[in-house]
Structure 1
Amino acid sequence: MKKLKKAISIMLLFVLIAGAYGCGSKSPSNVVKTYLEEVKQGKNGDFTELLDNSLDSAEKTNKSNIKESKLSDESAKKITDAMGKLTYTINSEKIDGDSAIVNVKVNGPDMSKVLGEFMQKAISAAFSKAFSGDKMSEEENNKLAEDILSDCLDNITNTERTGDISLKKSNGEWKINNDDSLKKLLLGIDGSIFSGQNSSDTNTTKEIKEMTLNEPFAVETKSGNYTLTIEGAKVTDKRNQFSNKDVKKVVFLNYSYANESFGKTTGTDLLINQSAFQVLDDEGNVLDTYPAFDDNRNAKDTPMGGKCSGAVAYALTTDSSNLNVTFIRNGSEKIAKIKVPIN
């Protein structure tokens, strides 16, 4: 499925160009600012494992069987123009040793809608072609796919999103981590858009387990095992002077995790941060994170045998009494859920 892959590639190319980007002694906020300016300019760079995984998932999702070819100059220009209009505001910066988080508000293209519309129209076109009995040449298939993608790009809209960009210091330089949170923040692309299953898996629905407050929830993965404990949700009076969010209250979701054997064979540390949670209020509103921090609860890379506590602040615009939390792995795989009373 070459066209969808190339379509996303053009967009993510601008987002992921500075994957290991570092700028000498610049602060994390300045590194992020320089990075975002390069994104807007559309400078080229190397693709990362994140991009490859996203494109492979998208390839499995599209079942239209439409043959695809090189992305046209017209579509490429539409994508480039959309990225050039991205605007952003750096809300806050938090440094914890060799790790840092910069909270950013962006207004940028919502590519999740574009890709969703493209896949829907491509599948519809495939069905129509099948029922008509008319066989199309590869060239005609390519033209059809290009026209569908171009039409979808004409409908691209911008949305406002707020999230964290994480950085690590290496050899004295701050470098941006290319993860699913970055992709979701800058392009609006959530891994769930690629959660479609292969035909052999369509009858299989994975159970989302229930978590219990203050009880460790065991997670087993190919990379090893760990536990996650949701410890509560507490209202905070902390407000960020750089945030213009109109909120009724700000709530910290408190949690902890223990690395039992994760990374035993790969040497990878365990990190559970805000990207691992999808949080809704009692009215079903998906909550944005808020740039407030609990200095005593900082999520860190945790080696095997270690444990860590974390807290994520959420902005509520309603008088919700609970946080409805879903624990997510790999950007889209929903593992467990829990309703947490707000204290």
Structure 2
Amino acid sequence: MPAPFAPYPLSRPRRLRRTPWMRNLVQETTLSVSDLIWPLFVREGQNELEPVASMPGVARRSVDLIPDAAAEAAALGIPVIALFPYTEPARKSPGCEEAWNPENLVNQATRAVRAAGIEIGIMLDVALDPYNSLGHDGIVRDGVVLNDESLIGLEKQALAHAEAGADILGPSDMMDGRIAHLRRALEREGYQDTAIMSYAAKYASAFYGPFRDAVGASGALVGDKKTYQMDPANSDEALREVAQDIAEGADMVMVKPGMPYLDICTRVKRELGAPTYAYQVSGEYAMIQAAAQNGWIDGDKAMMESLAGFKRAGCDGILSYFSLDVAKRLKAG
């Protein structure tokens, strides 16, 4: 417990808020550009920059434009970009074969960044939903998402991403046992240095809608994801999920969504001590942007305050669509 303070007027907490330099001197939480991971959406075509209607300020970029975005992020000091595909419906199937196609969009984009010689980390998602004609993160048969059969597809996908040059794999599927399965496969195939940031506590949330628009999964989803994503009411279960993923070989863990689950971030960091990240998901981003565009809040201040909240909760870093704007603000001082 904190030491007791002297009573007023001997103790006046406002003394430490009197000037900007004093507030900076006693600031407990610091947000830096090295805390940021910037998600980018990849689409087919050439020189294509397609706005995502439900995410103001976010666009799908064709593969040839991804190196430019990566270079801009690297110049600002952002350490990692995370790539997500907008897969055309014709490339989706019940078997999700496009997920491990060496020439799928995110693999192409990864190689393009590598060929450009840009010094930045690349994170690729491991889940089948962008490639699944039924919209689920795993293989579906007779309306059931199959756990162990899905692991085979996830392994193929992870190895294809590692071969393309991904530095970090982000399994977001929430299949049981997938971290151990993927870690063994990476070790076996010589990718022992490929890190895993597990979406360890991923909730069945209403905040994912704009992301599903961005990757073209909204109309494809049949049913819901509640049989594998977590119940938003549960906290202890999140700790069990995270502990299991760490035991299976996850290097870093993630809580998703972010702002509605700051208590989970705090518990994970305090109780398990692993490198802990949060995803400020599309719905969180879209709400701030929509309110700002309507003049209801100061968008820039809300953006910075929201990310500071993740750090205060104990997160080591944040995946945020605001990353580029935040990096510019931090660089400007």
TM-score range, shorter chain: under 0.3
Greater strand percent: which structure? Answer: 1
- The TM-score with structure 2 as length reference comes to 0.26
Greater helix percent: which structure? Answer: 2
- The TM-score with structure 1 as length reference comes to 0.25
